[in-house]
Structure formats: structure tokens, C-alpha cells
Structure 1
């Protein structure tokens, strides 16, 4: 009986530590247009570290760059964007063959202000997504990527038809 309680307690602790990926995906879609959602998602992902699941780290990095949009001071904008970019790049390095992570990076780079200079991987990520989308097995990830691609101006109409 005690052992069951210990496992139950450990299970509850673990579920509180890492956010639900499906929820993160949904909130990320809204975060760039809704400051409240962005701050909530940022708070939920605050405990994610470089040792955690790379896709969660990618979302943390991406939402951190979005926080730069909502920061008041230029210094804070720069800090948020720099931190987010570093987290996102670490996620890509940790799992370079993950289509969802590449899509997240593309979404950030496509929407990053030109002054940031963070646009160099757009063509590479687009090509990777187009070549590897059909190999994706996670349905939630597939829907996320498809939703991004079909709404992106970086993909042509003929490319969007592949999704």
C-alpha cells in the first residue's frame, strides 16, 4: 500500500513539472496575438530546462521570443529575444531531425523583426519540413505543422497542397 502511494505521489510530481504538449501547442498558436496567453505559457514553461524534452524547450524558446514583443523596455526586449533564440537553437541541436522543432524555429524566424538578424535558417527549415512531414508519427505534431504551413506566407500554394 505504501509503495502505491509513493508511486502515485511521484507521478503527481512529474505531471506538475512538465506541461502537457497538446496544451502547449494550442497556447503557442495564440501567444503571438494575445499577451495574456503568452505570459501564461511562458510561466508554464519556466521550469523546462535544456535537459528536458527538446520539443518543450523549443516551445519555451519560441514563447520567450514572443515575450520580447510584450516587454516595455528595449533592454528587456533584447534579453527575452536573445534568451529565446538560444533555447530554440539548443533544442534544434539536441534533436535536429524533429520536424516540429524545425517548424517552431521557422515560425520564430518568419516573424522576427529584421533588426534581429534571426532569419538564416528559414529556407533550410522549409526544405526540411517539406521533405520530412510525411514521416511524422505524432498526430498532434502533424496537425501543428500543417496548421502553421497552411497559414504561412513563406510557403507557396502548391507547397501547402502537400499538407
Structure 2
């Protein structure tokens, strides 16, 4: 999946970003969340510190908008967790990690898409914010 590859290098980040250029806040919340993620990831490769910060903040605004619009949608919460777990501490975007982690653990069994379920499972198993017990509970589902 492009989301998983995007942070690896600037070409992948650009490619992922370009996939969501046409997405607006009127679109499906998952698409809006991915657009926000693409902006936040692309920010990593911006020229100056100021550009990095501004681009990241703009991306996060899309992500937060998607979650505000549909707080029970799984994909935006999953995306936010990934962005928060991997964002530099200096950006101070870490406040919802425990909330989103718990949300995913509770909702995991209800994810209808096999693809999304596999993607989330893979993420959880490599994540540093989930305990071994939590990883094991997901592995057994």
C-alpha cells in the first residue's frame, strides 16, 4: 500500500501526495485523512524547517477534520495513530496515541475490509506503542 511506502523517501512521499491532490474536505473521511497524512509525510522532505512545520500542520488539519466529522471511522483513527507515533517530538503531535490505540483494539474485530484489517494488523505488530499482550490479542483474531 502506498501509505506504508510513503515515508521511505521523497519520491514515495511525492507519489502518495499526488494521489490525493484532488481530494477536498467534502470527500469520504478516509480520503480526507489520507490526504492529510500525505501532506504530513511530504512535509518531512520540505526545504526549510518553517516549510516542514507549516506543511505538517496543514496536513494534520485535514486529518483532524476527518476525525471530527466521523469520530467512529476506523481509517482516520488508524492514520492519525501512525502519524502521531512517527512524528518528531518537537511537533508536539502525540496527544491521541492512547485514545486511538484503544479505539483500534476495540474496533479491530468489526473492520469489514480484509485489506484494511491486514494493514492495521501489520502496523500494530510492528508498532512500539502496543504492548506484547495487545499484539498477541490482535494476532489471535
TM score, norm. by length of structure 2: 0.94
Residue aligning to 2:113: 138
2: distance between equivalents of 1:37 and 1:68?
A: 13
List 4+ stretches of structure 1 deviating above 6 A: none
Residue aligning to 1:93: 68
1: distance between equivalents of 2:10 and 2:2?
A: 11
Q: How many residue pairs get matched?
A: 138
Point out the structure with max Rg over C-alpha. 1
What pairs with 1:1-163 in structure 2 (closer than 5 Å)?
26-163=1-138
Please give the secondary structure, in 2, of the residue aligned with 1:83. Answer: helix
Give how far 1:34 is off: 2.1
Deviations 1:97-127 (A, max 9, x none): 1222111100000011111111110100011
Which ranges in structure 2 are unaligned for 5 or more consecutive residues? none
Deviations 1:80-106 (A, max 9, x none): 101111000011112211222111100
